[in-house]
Amino acid sequence: MKPAPFDYVRAETVEEVLAVLALEGSDAQIIAGGQSLMPMLNTRLAKPKVLIDIMRLKQLDRIDAASGAVTVGAGVTQRTLLGWPPLAEKLRLVLCDRRLRGRRQQAGRPPRRRRRA
């Protein structure tokens, strides 16, 4: 199934995101990576009037570790987070997910053809 029609806004500033949200209200949906939203759009479980892409916002593409807390911005990719040097010290639980990722990829592979003798 294809998603319902929607307008797409690639935001360049946080102010632009806030302006579109103020204008469209609950009819707007923010997208950063789309891993969970795209299947919902395709099955029409989500039908936003406007989709706001925030991946180009540099303000949201940072990781901060201050006073014992780690803040991961909405624009940080999983690859960036896993490549962050203090990750092993600050967020050990995320490393567990890294090991599980390989299993997920293995389970998602198409079956290999068997050779006939």
Confidence of residue 21 (pLDDT cuts 50, 70, 90): very high
Residue 53 sits in a domain of what CATH number?
3.30.43.10
117 within some domain: no
* Rounded-to-integer distance, Cα 6 and Cα 91, Å: 37
Mean pLDDT value of segment 94-100: 50
| pLDDT tens digits, 26-68 | 999 888 876 778 888 888 888 889 999 998 898 888 888 887 7
33 and 53 in a single domain? The answer is yes
115 within some domain: no
> Residue 103 phi/psi, 5° resolution?
-65, -40
Range of the domain at 74: 62-109
Task: Annotate 30-94 with DSSP letters as a single string.
Answer: EESS-TTHHHHHHTTS---SEEEE-TT-GGGS-EEEETTEEEE-TT--HHHHHT-TTHHHH-HHH
Please report, rounded to a whole number, the percentage of residues in the chain having pLDDT higher than 90.
21
The answer to whether residues 29 and 50 touch, using CB atoms and an 8 Å cutoff, is yes
The structural domain count of the chain equals 2
Residue 3 neighbours by CB under 8 Å, 6+ apart: 41, 42, 44, 47
10 within some domain: yes
85 and 67 in a single domain? The answer is yes
* Rounded-to-integer distance, Cα 14 and Cα 7, Å: 18
